[in-house]
Structures are given as structure tokens and as C-alpha cells.
Chains A and B, each alone.
Chain A
Amino acid sequence: MKNSITNQKIGQLNPELLNNLLKRYSNESKITKWDMGASSSSDISVQVQKGKAKQLKGSQRNSMTLRVWNKYNQVGITSTSDLTSEGINKAMRGAIKASNFGNVKESPEFSPMAKNELEAVNSNNSNPHTINELLSILKNAEKQLIDTHKSIDSVPYNGLNESYMERIYINSEGANRHMKLSQSSIYLYAKAEEENKKPRSAGGIRIHSNLEELDIESCIKETSDKLISHLNYKSIETNKYLICFTPDAFLQLISAFSSMFNARSIIDGISLMKKDSIGEQISVSNLNISDEGLHPENVGAFSFDGEGTPTQNIKLVTNGILTNLLHSEATARKFGAKPTGHAGLGAKVSVSPDWLVVSKSESETDKDKNLSVKNTLKEYILIDELSAIHSGVKASQGSFSLPFDGWIVKNGKKISIDAATVAGDILEVLNNIVKIENEQIVTHQGISPYVWVENVSITGEA
């Protein structure tokens, strides 16, 4: 047996060989309990500039995280991208060494659901394309976008990518998960400039499991429409405004505060919620939020998480009430719940959402049912995209202060806002929602309708 777990098609994993190597090294090290997550990816991507190739990239990558339990039930892990027999052996030794520092009071266990049946997701794998095919598609997209308006002078940030990924989870009790998927994405970020005005920019992104079905036309149209709408801009006054969040912006905001739904964050004391918050009303009573990793539109879905637990759809907020949390094996044990399929793999296991879906509860009514992004005549601020989320959000305190792209809308007429920030408290925002529109819109990061919030602080430069 040769000592690589990649088979002849470079970049693809060989689960059987990997399992055998781990059994051998764990036996030699007298480790009876271990688990392992491995992933492999191969992708190609292109960038263009003014009709020419700018950068062409490819990669083949493998990595593995190995977790062992020593005789004192302390857990240690090691990660490696060296998937040779020697690399795996070294990882085993590293994990055993790390286990000496494991906190026995907080040791994770195997997920009780690591052998449960999996839901079938995303079997629509793409046929590989050549770099020249990608290049041709992106060059055309760049040209089409620039041709939509005379002021659009370039698309400085752009990319088209095709990826193939696989993931494995194996444990010493016989759990054996393996899944492959493909993903393609395009992003276009264009710049426009008119005389005596500041340069303006806007972008769009699309993701699909199959390059053939990637909706490039709508990405071009969205980017162009947005950018053209930003050409005429003005500063606005600092004040409290009626706000309408686009589906993208509202999902960005909810994602930034997803520690509210995260059992790990609650245990660590860095969430706005507490251990006994389940059952509390945290928003207006017609808001529903769920995490739906299995949603057919979630093209990046894996059918199991880092601990091998099946991916599940979880209702987090129902009629404004916090109903469930996202769990790993360890947090579920502490809360007397079941793992929800949102775990990573580690000595201390992280928890994160997959695909947030915001919807309106049918049984409850809006405070201002006449608001609609299509025909409202009132003055309001339409927030399209939030920036600097990593620095402008204090998730443990609930506060945020974020620059945004958007428009001031009056009598149905939109004027782009030069530069402004929106600031507030997430729980106040959730409780000041005055309208959740009916239509749910699919974005690359989840699903949400337009959501209206009153009395929100905006800082402008007028």
C-alpha cells in the first residue's frame, strides 16, 4: 500500500485507506476512541480586466482534523494538510500530546446521531469546465455589464469559480459519512464615474451547484441597475428614519447576531440570550426565523456536520418567541436537547448556522400593513447592503454601527445616499419591525422578505 490517501485523480479522498491508517495508528498508540473529519477540494477560477485574463487560478487541497480521547477521557486534536501515512501518524501523535491539556469537565463525546440516516441533498453535480470556458463566460459578462451604461468604466472586482468539494467523517465506533458536491459562483463589482462626481460602485453575486445554471444574466442586471441608481447621490441628515432592509441586508444583520441562537455562545456568556431564554418573546410577534441547511436553494449544503450529525432544519424564532437553539453534541447534552447538525470538529466544538430563512407568521398582522417597497409614498431609507460587519457589531452587547449602501426614497423616487451609517440595538430593531413583506426572496446567504423597521438612527454627512 502506498502512503497517500489521495487516489490517482489528484484531490480526491480515499475513505477506506484513511480509515485503515487511522485504525492502525490508533492501535499502535493504544487509543481506543477517535474521530476524524477530512475534506478535499479542487477548483479553478478566473478574473478578467478590460476583456483580458487578469488572473487564472487553480487549486487541489486536502486537509484533516483528527480528534482522540486519552485514557482519562481528555480530548486532543490536530489538523494537517499532509495526508501521507507519515503526516497522519504525526497528526495522531500531535493529538495525543494535545489531549494532555484537554479539560476533562468539558470533553465532547461522539454525536449520538453520527450513524443516523442522512437526508439526500444537492446531488446536482456540475460537469467540469475548462479554464478557457470560464474565461470566455466572464469576459462576456464583463463586456455586457460595461455596455449597459456609458458611465460604467470598469469591473475592478470580478471572478468566476468552479469548485468540487468532498467531506468525510469517520469515528472509531464505525460512523462513516462521505459526501461530494460542486459549486460555481460569479461576482461582479463594477465602478462608474461621472464628471465632477465621486466614483460609485455596486456589485452582485450568484451561486449555484452547476455552472450551466448559474444565473449570470440576473447578476449583470442587478449590478448594473444598482450602480446606475447610485450615480445620482446626495448626503442625508443625521436623524431617526423609517428603514426598509432588503432581504440581503436583513439576513446580514441577523447573521451578525446569530450568537443569539447559538448554544455554545450562550454557555460561554457571549450571547445576548441566556440559558433560560427559550420561550421568551424577543421580537414582534409576526417574525419567524429558522435555519434550513436542507433547503433546496442552499447549494453549499452538506448532509452532515463536523461531528457527523445529520443536517437539520431548525425553527429558531416562531411568532417572535425564541423556540430552539443551534447545538453541537456537547451543548445539546448540557441543555438536555439533541444535536442539530451545526457543529464543527474540535476539542471545544464550535456551532454556526447554515442557511437562515426569515418569514412572516401568517397568524399575526403588521403594525403598518400599507408599507410596501413597490408602492410606498412615505419617506424612508432603503438599506441594500451593510459593510464592516466584523468591526461594527458588538454581538455580546447587541449594538451595531454599520456603514451601508442604500437610497433615500420619497414618493417612490430613489436617490442614492452618499455615505451614511445605521446604528442601533438588535433587540430594539426586532421589536420595532412594522412590516414584514409577504414575498420571500432567495439570496446567496439565505431567504428573507423586505423588512421595515421604524425609528432607526442614521448618521449622514449633510
Chain B
Amino acid sequence: MTNSLLTKENENLLFHTFDETLRPQIEELLSLGKSAGADLVEVFLEKSDNISLLAEQDYISNVSPSFGIGAGIRVFLGKKDGFVSTNDLSTAGLLFALNQALGMLGLVSGSKNGNRFDGLSDLKDFGTNKNDWLKQSPDLDESTHKLIDATKSLADKNKNLQVRRASYSRNWQEVLVAASDGVFARDIRLHQTVGINVIAQQGENRSSSARRLGSSGNPDDLRNWEIEKSACELNDSAQKMLYAGYVEAGQMPVVLANKFGGVIFHEACGHLLETTQLERGTSPFHDCIDKQIAHKAVSAVDEGLSNHAFGSLSMDDEGMEPQNTLLIENGILKKFLSDRAGSLRTGHPRTGSGRRQNFSFAAASRMRNTYIKQGNFSPDELIKSVDDGLYCKSMGGGSVGPTGQFNFSVEEGYLIKNGRLDKPVKGATLIGEAKEILPRISMCANDLDLAAGFCGSVSGSVNVTVGQPHIKVDSITVGGR
């Protein structure tokens, strides 16, 4: 048994470009599935070549290359589906997976009582100009030197930076999507992230600070990383938070900074606009198309098109080209994000949002680059409009509950007193409910910016961009001590 679609050992799939030559084997699988009675059969093939590096203090402490192959086979019958993943890509392995997926829906391969398969369309190759991306990316030598430069740069900033870490990950992925409705598409993806984090310590006081940058489709991203700028920004944040006191809990107006401040919209609203949530009946916005759900100052989009943004794609994981999807316009809900299954089950048209972490997950409706559009105010005008509140300069992570309750930690916060920034504070958590908070976003500044992140949900962890200009929330619960 070979672990390949191909029969010759020297043509192992891992070293083989996904291309037209795979057509006969894939068509055979799809045909078997259709003839068994499936409404639709989809095959997703993936190979990956990843590197993860970590520098701690002045040494490289971890170099972890990894390679992967795998396939996900999904079969639809009516509104039901069965999905099987495997990294055994032998003919036997794939047939086993197909038969298991068919069996889940009560179908039997070889029964020939089902539907006809008319063959795949011409291969839509989104990867044609990307075949050299892997070679063009920095090698281990260059990458490790860059990380050591980063930790050394941090060492120069302040002696109280007791822990200095820099990490880099490069994820290269080649995918092929084929479905019995004729979809036949290939793409190559390249995602890179660099992260730096520090712990500053002076006596009994400690603060930690972290930043992450990420890009897609840009082999030169690590080379172009401005280490000095990142190190200065990180050190500045760590020093300011070192002696910060705990924020006092309560209800107050809050100004959220741009870039990663957009995580609040991503978590609190974006997830509730995915058809995945509509299917579960957990989105409070399920019947709100063309209704006012946010303050009229708020317009928001989700798109997969911004050049080199971390959530951009040439095609989604179902072979569809991404769109610029207007979610909210002047506070009015315009559209949901939909994948193939979501469209089938909810009726909302596909938006090129079918995404998955890898072959082991079935695609689901997921966000890409999601952000609130900019307004006309300057960031200063937002601060000046607050007498007594909180400025959230840097946000940590957050999560959203099944019915829209959300929470976010504030990494770097400052009190606002009489329209001016005051003392730094730590330990703040923003708590609320999407439906209640969206109408309270009353001002948007003119400084939209994006930040890279990872989003975990039903189809695994996917690369996304969050973003916004500075925004003001008139009142929100701030958890503290």
C-alpha cells in the first residue's frame, strides 16, 4: 500500500504538484460518490510545509519543521453531510474515507442507483504565480538570525526585560478542491507571523507585553520586519504597565484603539453573522437583515481581498473566490457570511467564506479580514469627548458565548479624566452583549488599521485580520478589582 493517490512510489503526492494529472483519480472518487446517491461530493487535498522558530534571550531554543499531507472528503445528501479526513492518501485510504462518509448518510458505494457525474471543469489554478513562494521565503539561517536580532534589540532597550522572546512561523500550504458540481481549483498559500513578547520585572512588580504581526502571500515579510520599531513599542508598553495599578470595576465609556481593538467587533458581532451561528439558532441577528442593529456611525465589512492581509485568500477552501462583503451599513445589517453548507441550510448566498484550518476539518463560514470602516473624527476628538472612562490601547484575547455574551482582556489601558489620558491601569476586562453594545459605538475615528490574528471556531484555527479605527463605546462594563 502506498500512501499516495499515485501508484508509483517516486511520484509520491507530497513531492508532486497538485495539477491536472490528478483529474482521473479524483473524478473516479467523485463519480463513485455520486453513483452511490450523494447529492454532492467534495474532495479537499492538502500538503503543508511549516517552520516554527523560537528565540529566547540570546539563543535559538526551538526549530520545528513539520510536513503534512491529508484529504477531507465530504458528502452531502439533502441538508445532511458526512465528512471524513485522513492522511492516508493511498487509493485504498481514500476509498475507505469515501465509503465511510457515504455510509454515514446511509449510502453504499457501488450501488449505482444514484446520480450522474458530468466531470470536473477546467482546473482553476490560483497558484500559478506562487510556485516559487517557498523558495523565496527566508531559509532557517536567515530566519534564526532575524529572531536573534530581535531579542538582542530588546535587550538594548531596558535591563529589566527579564524574559525576551521572538518567534516566527511560516506556513506553506498547497490545496486542491474538487467537487461533483464541477469545481476544480488549486491554490498555494503562504502565511508568516512574527511575535515578540517580554516580561519586565523591577522588585516585586512585573508586567508582560506581546505583539504579533502577520501577512499572507508575501515571501519577504520577515525580511522587511522593522525590528527596532517593534522592540521600542513593546518595551514602551511593558515599562508603562510595570507600575500600573488595577482598574476599578464599573460601567464607563471606553475608547478602543485601532488595529487589534477590532477584536471586539470580530468576537462580539462578526461570529454572530456567520451562517454557522444561524444554523444553530444562536445568533440574535438571525431575523435582522435590513434592520438597525448598530449605531448609525457603524459600517463594517468582511473581505478576503486586501493585499498581503493575514485573512486574504485567492479562493476559499471550497474553491470560491472571496468577496468584499458589506456586513453593516450605517448600522443596518446587510449580509451574513456563508459557506456551502450554510447556504444549503439557511438560504443565504455563499460569500467565499468557506474556511478550515486544514484537511481534518469540514469548511464552515468564517471571517477573513473584518473591520469597522473609518469615520470622520480624529482619535483625539474621541478621547476629549470622555470625562471619566477608560482608553484601551492594546487588547488581549477574548471570547464570545453561544448567545452573544463577550469578554476581552485589556493588555494596556489608561484612565481618561476630563478628556485627557491619565494613569496606566491593568487587569481590565470588557464585558457585554453584542446586541446591547453595537448601538453604543457612537464615534469612529479616521485612522482605520488592521492587525493579524488567529480565530478558533468550528472549523479549527484560521488566519484572520481584525481592524477598526479608534472607536468610542458610550458605556460598557469594565471588570477589575
What residues make up the interface of A, taking CB atoms closer than 8 Å to B? 2-4, 6, 8, 10-11, 44, 49, 52-63, 76-87, 90-91, 94-95, 97-98, 100-103, 105-106, 131, 153-154, 156-157, 189, 191, 198-201, 238, 268-270, 346-348, 387-388, 390-392, 394, 396-397, 399, 401-403, 419-421, 423-424, 457, 459, 461
Specify which of B64, B397, B480 lies most central, judged by the most chain A CB atoms within 10 Å of its CB. Answer: B64
Task: State A423–B69 Cα separation when bound (angstroms).
Answer: 44
A-B contact sample (20 more), CB < 8 A, given A55-B362, A100-B140: A2-B2, A57-B82, A58-B101, A59-B85, A59-B86, A60-B84, A87-B12, A87-B69, A95-B65, A102-B60, A103-B61, A153-B281, A199-B284, A269-B162, A346-B62, A388-B409, A391-B397, A392-B396, A397-B206, A401-B409
Contact of B407 among A153, A346, A388 (CB under 8 A): A388
What residues make up the interface of B, taking CB atoms closer than 8 Å to A? 1-4, 9, 12, 14-15, 54, 56, 59-70, 80-88, 90, 92-93, 96-97, 100-101, 103-105, 140, 144, 162-163, 199, 206-208, 246, 249-251, 279-282, 284, 360, 362, 396-399, 401-403, 405, 407-409, 426-429, 431-433, 477-481
Chain B residue nearest to A272 in the complex (CB): B206
Check A76–B63 contact: CB distance below 8 A: yes
Given A84-B2, A87-B14, A401-B409, are A423 and B481 neighbors across the interface (CB < 8 Å)?
Answer: yes
- Please report whether the interface of chain B is mostly helix, strand, loop or mixed according to DSSP: strand
Task: State A82–B81 Cα separation when bound (angstroms).
Answer: 27
Given A55-B362, A201-B402, A391-B398, are A103 and B163 neighbors across the interface (CB < 8 Å)?
Answer: no
A198 neighbours in B (Cβ, 8 Å)? 403, 433
Task: State A328–B244 Cα separation when bound (angstroms).
Answer: 36
A54 neighbours in B (Cβ, 8 Å)? 80, 279
B402 neighbours in A (Cβ, 8 Å)? 156-157, 189, 191, 201
Q: How many residue pairs at the A-B interface have CB separations less than 8 Å?
A: 263
B162 neighbours in A (Cβ, 8 Å)? 269
> Considering the complex of A and B, which 7 residue pairs feature the smallest CB-CB distances, nearest first?
A391-B397, A421-B479, A459-B249, A156-B280, A56-B104, A79-B66, A459-B479
Task: State A60–B64 Cα separation when bound (angstroms).
Answer: 24
Check B81–A56 contact: CB distance below 8 A: yes
Specify which of B84, B104, B208, B246 lies most central, judged by the most chain A CB atoms within 10 Å of its CB. Answer: B104
Contact of B97 among A56, A60, A131, A420 (CB under 8 A): A60
Chain B residue nearest to A193 in the complex (CB): B403
Given A62-B88, A97-B65, A106-B61, are A131 and B409 neighbors across the interface (CB < 8 Å)?
Answer: no
B144 neighbours in A (Cβ, 8 Å)? 101
Chain B residue nearest to A153 in the complex (CB): B281
B69 neighbours in A (Cβ, 8 Å)? 81-82, 87
Check A4–B90 contact: CB distance below 8 A: yes
Q: Would you give the shortest CB distance from A209 to chain B, in whole angstroms?
A: 23
Task: State A156–B280 Cα separation when bound (angstroms).
Answer: 5
Return 30 A-B CB contacts under 8 Å, by A number: A2-B2, A4-B2, A4-B3, A58-B82, A58-B83, A58-B84, A60-B84, A61-B85, A77-B64, A79-B67, A81-B68, A81-B87, A84-B3, A86-B12, A94-B65, A157-B402, A269-B199, A348-B62, A388-B398, A388-B407, A391-B399, A397-B206, A401-B479, A401-B480, A419-B405, A421-B431, A423-B249, A457-B249, A459-B477, A459-B479
Check A3–B100 contact: CB distance below 8 A: no
B281 neighbours in A (Cβ, 8 Å)? 153-154, 156, 191
Check A401–B429 contact: CB distance below 8 A: yes
Task: State A86–B6 Cα separation when bound (angstroms).
Answer: 14
Check A391–B56 contact: CB distance below 8 A: no
Check A101–B140 contact: CB distance below 8 A: yes
B407 neighbours in A (Cβ, 8 Å)? 387-388, 391-392, 403, 421
Check A57–B14 contact: CB distance below 8 A: no
Task: State A83–B426 Cα separation when bound (angstroms).
Answer: 48
Given A97-B140, A269-B199, are A423 and B479 neighbors across the interface (CB < 8 Å)?
Answer: yes
Check B85–A56 contact: CB distance below 8 A: no
Chain B residue nearest to A349 in the complex (CB): B62
Task: State A202–B424 Cα separation when bound (angstroms).
Answer: 36
Check A399–B93 contact: CB distance below 8 A: no
Specify which of A11, A56, A77 lies most central, judged by the most chain B CB atoms within 10 Å of its CB. Answer: A56
Given A57-B362, A77-B64, A421-B407, are A396 and B199 neighbors across the interface (CB < 8 Å)?
Answer: yes
Check B409–A392 contact: CB distance below 8 A: yes
B66 neighbours in A (Cβ, 8 Å)? 78-80
Given A270-B199, A391-B399, A401-B428, are A82 and B104 neighbors across the interface (CB < 8 Å)?
Answer: no
Task: State A54–B81 Cα separation when bound (angstroms).
Answer: 7
B480 neighbours in A (Cβ, 8 Å)? 401, 423, 457, 459
A78 neighbours in B (Cβ, 8 Å)? 64-67
B401 neighbours in A (Cβ, 8 Å)? 201, 387
Task: State A347–B481 Cα separation when bound (angstroms).
Answer: 41
Task: State A457–B248 Cα separation when bound (angstroms).
Answer: 10
Specify which of A8, A81, A461 lies most central, judged by the most chain B CB atoms within 10 Å of its CB. Answer: A81
Check B408–A131 contact: CB distance below 8 A: no
B80 neighbours in A (Cβ, 8 Å)? 52-54, 56
Task: State A423–B83 Cα separation when bound (angstroms).
Answer: 42
Contact of B67 among A56, A62, A91, A199 (CB under 8 A): A91
B249 neighbours in A (Cβ, 8 Å)? 238, 421, 423, 457, 459
Task: State A105–B59 Cα separation when bound (angstroms).
Answer: 10
Chain A residue nearest to B52 in the complex (CB): A79
Chain A residue nearest to B69 in the complex (CB): A82
Check B64–A98 contact: CB distance below 8 A: yes
Q: Would you give the shortest CB distance from A274 to chain B, in whole angstroms?
A: 12
B101 neighbours in A (Cβ, 8 Å)? 56, 58
Q: Would you give the shortest CB distance from B437 to chain A, in whole angstroms?
A: 12
